[in-house]
A = this chain, B = another copy of it.
Amino acid sequence: MPVNLKAPDVGTLLDVAGVELGVVEAGIRKRDRRDLLVMRLSEGSTAAGVFTRNRFCAAPVSVCREHLAGGSIRALVVNTGNANAGTGAMGLANARRTCAALGSALGCRESEVLPFSTGVIMEQLPMDRLLEGLPRAVAALGSASWLDAARAIMTTDTQPKAASRSIMLDGARVVLTGIAKGAGMIRPDMATMLGFVATDARISPHVLAAMCRQAADASFNAITVDGDTSTNDSFIMVATGRSDAAPITGINTPPGREFMSALKSLAVELAQAIVRDGEGATKFITVTVEGGVDITECRRVGYAIAHSPLVKTAFFASDPNLGRILAAVGYAGIDDLDQSRIDLHLDDVLVASGGARHPQYREEDGQRVMRQDEITVRVGLHRGTAAATLWTCDLSHDYVSINADYRS
């Protein structure tokens, strides 16, 4: 059961001029499920992406990096059911062949197509079914909604993830619409499993790349479900330039800041949706670490808490067994940490101060917060002025069930 997350109403998702979507059933892994998405971009679109740091990156990630370096991008193709990761030279050839086939169907170059795959690892793509599906997806271009697209990229997700923003830049309307997928193997180290944001703003590739990086750091790079950094993490932005607004020439121009604010808010919403739909999640947890020497150590402490199976099962049980959080702070790897300065809040409840249970802390107050389905953990290190926030979920029986049964 996702935590306070419903499928978005299709009416809230804004079309992006210059983007056409087509989805079909290709039977990649399962029958009766639309599992192949093609996204066509109008001429002159720009694109940028950030990708997993997993050294075992998937074949499509390698191809994306190559094609983005090359310049013009005219189409994206996404299959679910198979990640095309751990597939060696044949996997790379299959990703290229997919791009070539779509390019030929659309009249563009192989290098103008970005491929994405998500699903099971270490199995080769069923190329016959994929290649059979591509022309049908091209024929369907323009008929699919953003909600259809969000559904077509799901794996163990229980809800499609999509959202839109609309802003006015100097009197002209600019639209941003994004979709994402992911529920397990989530500890993005650059970006989520798959996230796409399209806008009709006009933005040069250079500026778009900086925006993409900043937005990912503020959103997808601050979430974790199970600490497993995926082989396929990709966050992609495309800008069609079809809005009437003037080009955005830099992140720190007034329209650049306006756009970044909308983009970050959109990316955070999508990233949080992944956590809310985390495999087996019953709670949505915000972890804030304050008073660190730098952001790196704040994030390290935050991830130690967010990855601890003992902390995560305590949240699942609504059990204020909060010493487990202190233990995680202690092993986060800060060698000169002074435990006698640490404090811990659970929402508004001061649980520990000076490294020990606070004298006024009452178990029933901790219990009250632990019963909520949204909880903020706040740790004060009292070493400096840096802070970091990240989002995670609990560890439940259903996480084990889902991942023990995923392939069957």
A interface residues (Cβ-Cβ under 8 A, vs B): 53-57, 83, 85-91, 120-124, 184-185, 187, 189, 226-231, 307-310, 313-314, 316-317, 319, 321-324, 326-331, 334-335, 337-340, 342, 352, 354-357, 395-397, 399-401, 403-408
Contacts and interface: CB of A to CB of B under 8 A. Distances in A.
Contact of A356 (B90, B228, B354, B397): B90
Given A316-B404, A321-B407, A404-B319, A326 B357 contact: no
Given A56-B327, A56-B342, A309-B403, 11 more contacts: A55-B334, A88-B340, A88-B357, A122-B357, A123-B357, A227-B308, A228-B327, A317-B404, A319-B408, A321-B407, A400-B400
B308 A228 contact: yes
Contacts of A331: 53-56, 187, 189, 228-229
Given A227-B309, A323-B121, A357-B87, A314 B403 contact: yes
Which 3 pairs across A and B sit closest by C-beta, in order of nearness? A121-B323, A56-B330, A88-B356
Contacts of A355: 56, 86, 88
B228 A85 contact: no
A94 to B, nearest CB: 12
Contact of A313 (B314, B338, B354, B404): B404
A356 B87 CA distance: 5
A45 to B, nearest CB: 31
Contacts of A324: 121, 185, 228
A89 B227 CA distance: 34
Most buried by B among A88, A121, A122, A334: A122
Nearest to A185: B310
A96 to B, nearest CB: 16
Contact of A401 (B228, B323, B397, B399): B397
A337 B54 CA distance: 10
A347 B368 CA distance: 49
A218 to B, nearest CB: 21
Contacts of A121: 321, 323-324, 326-327
A248 to B, nearest CB: 34
Nearest to A353: B88
Nearest to A53: B331
Most buried by B among A184, A309, A335: A309
Contacts of A53: 331
A340 B56 CA distance: 9
Contact of A323 (B86, B316, B319, B404): B86
Contacts of A396: 400
A86 B310 contact: no
Contacts of A397: 397, 400-401
B185 A407 contact: no
B56 A316 contact: no
A231 to B, nearest CB: 5
A85 B310 contact: no
A355 B121 CA distance: 12
A310 B354 contact: no
A356 B57 CA distance: 12
A310 to B, nearest CB: 5
B314 A54 contact: no
A187 B330 CA distance: 13
A32 B111 CA distance: 73
A54 B330 contact: yes
A306 to B, nearest CB: 12
A403 B226 CA distance: 17
Nearest to A326: B86
Contacts of A354: 88
5 contacts: A54-B327, A187-B331, A228-B308, A230-B327, A397-B401
